[in-house]
Amino acid sequence: MAVRIQGMCSSCHAAQSVDLPADTKSFICNQCLSVTTIDHLPSQGPQISSHLPSPSSSPSSHYSLISGPGSKRAVICGITYQGTCLELKGCLNDANCMKYLLTTRFHFPDSSILMLTEEQMDPSRKPTKYNIMHALEWLVQGCQPGDSLVFHFSGHGSQQINYNGEELDGYDETLIPMDFQTAGPIVDDDINSTIVRPLPVGVTLHAIVDACHSGTVLDLPYLYRYNGYEQFTWEDHRPTTGTWKGTAGGDVYSFSGCDDNQTVVDTSDLAKGTSTGEMTYCFIQAIERGYGSTYGSLLNAMRSAVHSAENQLVTSLIDKLLSVIFHQMQEPQLTASKTFDVSKPFIL
């Protein structure tokens, strides 16, 4: 049951009026994106107070929290980890290219795309763990049937031991924010609970994740697994115990750079000397070259492009053997909230 939340943002004091599930614990301001928690819901409207830290400054642009049916909204994160031993070169380029693709090819309004990159002057726009998680809350909050949502991440991914038995391989997948050394990683369980499980009927979310160990980083129930001989089957990743990992009726599709036990490549060999993530580059090129008509054709085009690129990069027999032994040949993956015919048209 939905409840209309009326009150004031505890950070910028902007008036808020939004329809949210009855068990909602907080909302995100449609002006400054800070979080205000809800203490209780009396009949005349909720009393609102803040118990969470808010970004140190307000965003330079305002983003609409509630919009009409058929609206488009995206969160794009590109992290290079400047000044650390994990520094990457192509993630900022990935973020900018993805924004260009969404605005020019799929007609996403520029004002509905939230960019989180290290070059941002506004502290609330830097890809910290706090900012990424609250950007994801903003992405799905107030969505309505017909809405199209996109989450793109280019950066490091990792794994950690899963202790509750919900993972087939025994590991949770993680995304690494820019402040990972102090804040820690973003775990797939938290991503799932934030943007997957709340997604209502009629809303579509696409995730494009260019990171190591990212095959099931949204914890979606089904993986479109290649089983050899040019055959694919849907692999069931629903946990036998624990929390349901599907949606509240919406549709989620995730293209990731590699399987959970693989790594991805950050290279300058594909885009004429410009550093890019291999998966992001191949995803965009597949669409630009006309291979994005269906989910199946897009996945096949990405896989073919990645294989072709890696065959050019890995030239010696020893390197190829090592890549097979240590699972370094990345295979783009498709996971979903439900099984479907991959000849279905791909639409953002």
Boundary residue ending a domain (15, 39, 54): 54
User: Based on the structure, what is the number of domains in the chain?
Assistant: 2
Is 62 found in the same domain as 6?
no
Query: Which domain covers residue 28, as residue numbers?
Result: 1-54
Is 132 found in the same domain as 27?
no
Which of 156, 206, 213, 237 is catalytic? The answer is 156
The reply to whether 213 belongs to the active site is no
Is 133 found in the same domain as 65?
yes
Residues present in the chain in total:
348
Which of 9, 77, 97, 212 is catalytic? The answer is 212
- Per-residue pLDDT, 1: 46
In 3D space, the residue among 288, 223, 226 whose CA is nearest the CA of residue 255 turns out to be 223
Boundary residue ending a domain (37, 54, 71): 54
Boundary residue ending a domain (36, 54, 72): 54
pTM equals 0.78
Which pair of structure tokens corresponds to residue 26?
């907080």
Q: What is the mean pLDDT of each run of 10 residues along the chain (348 residues)?
A: 55 57 56 52 33 35 49 96 91 95 96 95 94 96 95 96 80 95 95 96 97 94 81 86 87 94 74 78 93 95 82 53 55 95 95
Q: Strands (DSSP E) along 227-341, which ranges?
A: 232-236, 251-256, 266-271, 274-277, 333-336
Q: Residue 155 class from Cβ within 10 Å (0-12 exposed, 13-18 middle, 19+ buried)?
A: buried
For residue 342, is it within any domain? no
- Per-residue pLDDT, 179: 96
Is 292 found in the same domain as 161?
yes
How far apart are alpha carbons 14 and 246 in whole angstroms? Answer: 34
| 318: helix, strand or coil | helix
For residue 262, is it within any domain? yes
- Per-residue pLDDT, 263: 86
Is 133 found in the same domain as 39?
no
For residue 8, is it within any domain? yes
Say if residues 35 and 15 touch (Cβ distance below 8 Å). Answer: no
Is 117 found in the same domain as 214?
yes
Is 135 found in the same domain as 37?
no
- Per-residue pLDDT, 24: 56
For residue 242, is it within any domain? yes
Is 126 found in the same domain as 85?
yes
Q: What CATH number is attached to the domain comprising 72?
A: 3.40.50.12660
Is 48 found in the same domain as 78?
no
How far apart are alpha carbons 85 and 282 in whole angstroms? Answer: 26
Kindly state the DSSP code that residue 94 receives in the 8-state scheme: H
Is 321 found in the same domain as 230?
yes
- Per-residue pLDDT, 53: 35
CA–CA distances in Å: residue 345 to residues 161, 294, 330: 37, 4, 25
For residue 347, is it within any domain? no
Say if residues 30 and 63 touch (Cβ distance below 8 Å). Answer: yes
Kindly state the DSSP code that residue 2 receives in the 8-state scheme: E
For residue 341, is it within any domain? no
The reply to whether 212 belongs to the active site is yes
CA–CA distances in Å: residue 216 to residues 192, 306, 335: 10, 19, 7
For residue 298, is it within any domain? yes
In 3D space, the residue among 45, 53, 33 whose CA is nearest the CA of residue 7 turns out to be 45
Is 271 found in the same domain as 244?
yes
For residue 109, is it within any domain? yes
Is 167 found in the same domain as 25?
no
- Per-residue pLDDT, 330: 77
